């Protein structure tokens, strides 16, 4: 999605009835639906069925089939439970008669309790960093083919500024820190803030999971695809302000990689956690 305003339009689904919605697709250059799009649209569909006082605190999704960008996506919401403090929804995304994605979301009324979180690992101020797009263009040891792929996957409504450039050789045990925010400030509801964040954080988690292994072990293109995605929303945040996405790779095995990310605001508060597993294996068709 090219602009923040365009992202609002992309996530604003057409309502068919109280529990059925339809969404259009961002035209990716790789001709498949961007995972962050279907995740954010499914969350938006679930949001439409709960009161604004109930905010999502966790979501768990499974990518079943690659989506076709030329076919609208139908989102069917199921009301599993409305309790005194929590509500639960299940959303299934269809193209035609085939399910391509399923999402479970839990919502909670705002409540106070104990407070604790890990410290932010920030090592730089985002104002002093360069965008990922500029870094890639100026990195000679990244091939043109890889550059094209990395640039194409960027959700353009956001600006991303890595703390280390693409020539740095990450070990599998290292964290990778990227600052990001919307390119243009928008007035957003708390629910829209969550949808925008869900859209953005699908950007780099799998790349982080494979980048060190790709540098060391693979000399051919990889087949990479999201398998599942989980998020926990801990505290309020603002995607108009700089957020730090700190990623690491707890495990790689069985042609799968596991990426884990913590999202901190500028003040160092942990605002969300994301975990994603993906397929990562040499592309035998190349």
pLDDT in tens, 174-186: 888 999 999 999 9
pLDDT of 104 above 50: yes
Q: Is 63 within 8 Å of 227 (Cβ atoms)? A: yes
* 202 is annotated as an active-site residue: yes
Cα torsion angle, 27, 31, 37, 41, sign: positive
pLDDT, one tens digit per residue, over 138-153 is 777 666 666 666 666 5
Do the Cβ atoms of 88 and 106 come closer than 8 Å? yes
Q: Judge contact between 18 and 9, C-beta under 8 A.
A: no
Asked if 226 is an active-site residue, the reply is yes
Q: Is 253 a catalytic residue?
A: no
Residue 71: count of CB within 10 angstroms of its CB: 15
Q: Which of 226, 246, 260, 262 is catalytic?
A: 226
37, 95, 132, 202: the catalytic one is 202
Each residue's pLDDT tens digit, 227-261: 999 999 999 999 999 999 999 888 888 888 899 99
CB 33 within 8 A of CB 100: yes
The SS3 of residue 56 is strand
In this structure, of 56-60, 162-166, 178-182, the range with the lowest mean pLDDT score is 162-166
Between CA 35 and CA 118, with CA 245 as vertex, the angle to 5 degrees is 125
Query: What average pLDDT does range 105-125 have in this prediction?
Result: 94
Name the residue with tokens 């299940």.
Answer: 90
DSSP category for residue 225: E
pLDDT of 3: 86
Of 280, 158, 261, 36, the closest CA to residue 25 belongs to: 36
Q: Report the alpha-carbon distance of residue 239 to residue 204 in Å, rounded.
A: 17
Q: How far apart are CA 83 and CA 219, in angstroms?
A: 53
Which of 83, 85, 109, 104 lies closest to 93, judged by CA? 104
* Res 286 pLDDT > 50: no
Domains located in the chain, CATH noted: 4-110+124-282 (2.40.160.210)
């Amino acid at each position: 999605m090219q602009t923040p305003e365009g992202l609002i339009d992309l996530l604003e689904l057409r309502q068919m009835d109280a529990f059925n919605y339809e969404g259009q697709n961002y035209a990716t250059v790789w001709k498949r639906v961007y995972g962050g799009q279907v995740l954010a649209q499914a969350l938006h569909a679930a949001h439409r069925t709960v009161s604004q006082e109930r905010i999502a605190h966790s979501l768990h999704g499974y990518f079943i089939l690659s989506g076709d960008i030329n076919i609208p996506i139908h989102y069917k919401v199921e009301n599993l439970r409305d309790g005194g403090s929590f509500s639960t929804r299940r959303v299934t995304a269809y193209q035609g008669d085939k399910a391509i994605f399923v999402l479970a979301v839990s919502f909670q009324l705002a409540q106070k309790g104990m407070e604790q979180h890990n410290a932010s690992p920030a090592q730089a101020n985002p104002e002093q960093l360069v965008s990922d797009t500029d870094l890639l263009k100026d990195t000679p040891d990244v091939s043109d083919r890889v550059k094209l792929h990395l640039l194409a996957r960027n959700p353009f409504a956001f600006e991303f500024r890595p703390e280390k450039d693409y020539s740095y050789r990450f070990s599998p045990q290292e964290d990778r820190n990227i600052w990001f925010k919307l390119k243009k400030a928008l007035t957003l509801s708390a629910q829209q803030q969550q949808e925008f964040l869900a859209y953005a954080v699908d950007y780099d988690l799998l790349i982080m999971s494979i980048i060190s292994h790709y540098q060391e072990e693979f000399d051919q293109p990889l087949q990479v695809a999201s398998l599942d995605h989980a998020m926990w929303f801990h505290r309020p945040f603002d995607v108009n302000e700089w957020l730090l996405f700190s990623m690491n790779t707890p495990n790689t095995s069985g042609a799968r990689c596991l990426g884990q990310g913590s999202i901190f605001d500028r003040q160092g508060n942990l605002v969300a956690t994301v975990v994603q597993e993906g397929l990562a294996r040499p592309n035998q068709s190349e």
